[in-house]
Amino acid sequence: MGAGLTGFGLSLVYPALGVEAIKQVPNSSRGAGLSAYAVFFDLALAIAGPLMGAVALNLGYSWIFFCAALLSLTGLGLTLMLKRRAGA
């Protein structure tokens, strides 16, 4: 059930983030921009599981939620910074 919900959520987020990433790239470099987006997204997915597993093993499961909260706040901060830079 959890994997199905995660897959459903990811199926909505992945293309939406891709569109936003491509908006930051000149039209002549869209292919390279989309490739970079895909590579870094896949790297993030590949690193997150083992990293959080190590956190759980060494610090306990409650630290996973703390780390996730910090990462979420970091993402929110980056979003606000980019929005201000774009003047939107």
In this predicted structure, the answer to whether residue 79 has a pLDDT above a threshold of 90 is no
Say what the pTM is: 0.70
Nearest Cα residue to 17 out of 69, 78, 60: 78
The three-class DSSP label of residue 65 is helix
Rounded Cα gap, residues 43 and 47, in angstroms: 6
Total structural domains within the chain: 1
* Region 41-55 average pLDDT: 93
Mean pLDDT of the chain: 91
- Which secondary-structure segment (H or E) carries 83? helix 61-86
Rounded Cα gap, residues 67 and 47, in angstroms: 14
The model's confidence at residue 20, banded by pLDDT at 50, 70 and 90, is confident
The model's confidence at residue 57, banded by pLDDT at 50, 70 and 90, is very high
Find the domain containing 71 and state its range: 2-86
